[in-house]
Amino acid sequence: MPITHLGLNLRQLHSPLPMFHGSVDREQWAAAARSIGQARGRLLALWGSDRGEGADGAMVVCAAYVIERGLLWLELPLTTPATGYPDLASGFPCAERMQRALADMHGVQAQNPLDVRPWLDHGAWPRDFRPLAAACGGDGSTIGNPVPYPFVRVEGDGVHEIAVGPVHAGIIEPGHFRFSVVGEKVLRLEERLGYVHKGIERRFTELSPHDAFRLAGRVSGDSTVAYAWAYCMALESAAGVTIPLRAAWLRALLLERERVANHLGDLGALGNDAGLAVGLAQFSRLREDWQRLSRMLFGHRLLMDCVLPGGVAVDIDAAAVQQIAAQCDAIETEVRAMHSLYDEHAGLQDRLIGTGRVTPELAAQLGLSGLAGRASGQTLDQRSQFPSVPYAAMDVRMATRHNGDVAARVSLRFDEVLESLRLIRCIVNELPAGAIHVDIDLPQRATFGAGWVEGWRGEILVALELVPHDGGVRIRRCHCHDPSWQNWPVIEHAMIGNIVPDFPLINKSFNLSYSGHDL
């Protein structure tokens, strides 16, 4: 652990994973960032917490890093918020948009930032309104029309711009993409997101800690299990509670079923975007069968509200185990056949190979994570690097590729489907007996907890702060972080040198979340 030389006062959080929490001063904040970067650690998330108007150090900036020993949550109290905090984007490029979002939400800027443009604020909020500040501000008025966003202009002979979105032809979420092109060749892509900002982080503070798992599970509907598990892990961490063994195994079962469902859907959509309609037809059928069994056994096609504080809501019996195992066998046979079809289809491979490439060197520099990172040579999978129950008992086989193109991201999905099917069989065959839920009593004091889960896109973090309130306990701050924050900027680089018609294919090969990004 590179930061041991910095003399930080850390405490280990109660958790099935190695997670540490501590407060630092400005010098330690900057020194820790440098040390972690030099040791090839990663910035996982950056956010703010306003802990009370008028108190010294009430405004706190938080950073979560992944280091050799696990997850490190550092806090920097700002006794003078107007002076800002030491910039992290110079060492971790993915921090730039997080810092811009933090400025929008709290009104606190990094020191000497490279980019001061707003990110989540599109100019429709009341003037001086800061949604997560203790004193929200705002004079009650709004700026009638959104403020024009200063996109970066590319100058030169024959260069022109193509604007795509935020409203799209399909039923996808809104995002704006500004292409600078010569002919059809892309010189630059710049994204503008934030159109579906919903006030989720503020809403968390209005909910009971025991009920907020439902909101967490709706941050991004295709990752409901991962978000709900991360929130529940954070709440259990704050309460010092360990869930029953059977409940932990069932959570993993639900998470892997969620992973398979999303990969099946993406494989079909990617085949369709590349002109192989039979891929969409076959994978849509497989995903539908998969989700119908989820509805039958767990009560919801997307598995919403199956993970709850203290455990899970639904158990399975011997008959369900047989159904799950039989479905895994059937799905595997068909997935292997489709994998062969995709690999041997010359027209499809011509569209996929070399398209939207992100080299391993660029991926490491930009902090590309999750599935997309593994397709570009990044050996990052929390299930195998920091395995908790039950993953420690199953020896998760991390799939990686090095080409970093659409073909690599497609091939990785096939590998991950097959590995998840293997894990699901292990879980149902070795599922321990016992309870599936334990009650949680929250302490009547300020507490912190963190949840860290490898969702199908990548690592999801939930950082939770609880405080006593009116004889009970309330949420002071709940920050949910989606891996799309790391990966959206990389699509801009993946598009350079490609042609405009390949954008839907490249974008789908990442399949990032708008909703999980625009909290």
The CATH number given to whatever domain includes residue 390 is: 1.10.645.10
Does residue 136 lie in a domain region? no
Q: Judge whether 118 lies within some domain.
A: no
Half-sphere exposure of 354 (CA within 13 A, CB side): 6
Contact 358, 493 (CB under 8 A): yes
219 and 98 part of one domain: no
Do 204 and 102 share a domain, yes or no? no
Q: Confirm if 237 and 19 have CB atoms less than 8 A apart.
A: yes
Domain count, the chain: 2
Q: How many Cβ atoms are within 10 Å of 79's Cβ, its own excluded? A: 12
Q: What value, to the nearest 5°, has the Cα angle with vertex 159 and ends 154 and 160?
A: 90
Contact criterion met (CB below 8 Å) for 8 and 63? no
246-275 residue pLDDT tens: 999 999 999 999 999 999 999 999 999 999
SS3 75: strand
End-of-domain residue from the set 85, 106, 127: 106
478 part of a folded domain = yes
* Final residue belonging to a domain, choices 62, 81, 106: 106
Same domain, 214 and 347: yes
pLDDT for res 206: 96
Domain boundary among 88, 106, 124: 106
Residue 475 lies in a domain: yes
Q: How far apart are CA 518 and CA 132, in angstroms?
A: 14
Q: Are residues 96 and 205 in the same domain?
A: no
Residue located via tokens 């490439």: 357
DSSP per residue over 370-436, as a string? Answer: HHHHHTTT----HHHHS--TTGGGTT------SS-SHHHHHHHHHHHHHHHHHHHHHHHHHPPPS-S
- Residues 62 and 205 placed together within one structural domain of the fold: no
The pLDDT of residue 1 is 43
- Which residues does the chain have with pLDDT short of 50? 1-2, 54-55
pLDDT of residue 142: 57
215 shares a domain with 74: no
464 and 360 co-located in one domain: yes
Quick one: 78 and 204 in the same domain? no
Q: How far apart are CA 420 and CA 425, in angstroms?
A: 9
pLDDT in tens, 490-506: 999 999 999 999 999 99
- Report the predicted TM-score, pTM, of the whole model to 2 decimal places: 0.96
Q: What is the phi/psi pair of residue 340, to 5°?
A: -65, -40
Residue 83 in domain: yes
CATH number of the domain to which 53 belongs: 3.30.460.80
Domain span including residue 275: 200-510
Pairing of strands 311-312, 307-308: antiparallel
In a domain, 116, yes or no: no
Structure tokens of 277? 């309609």
139: in domain: no
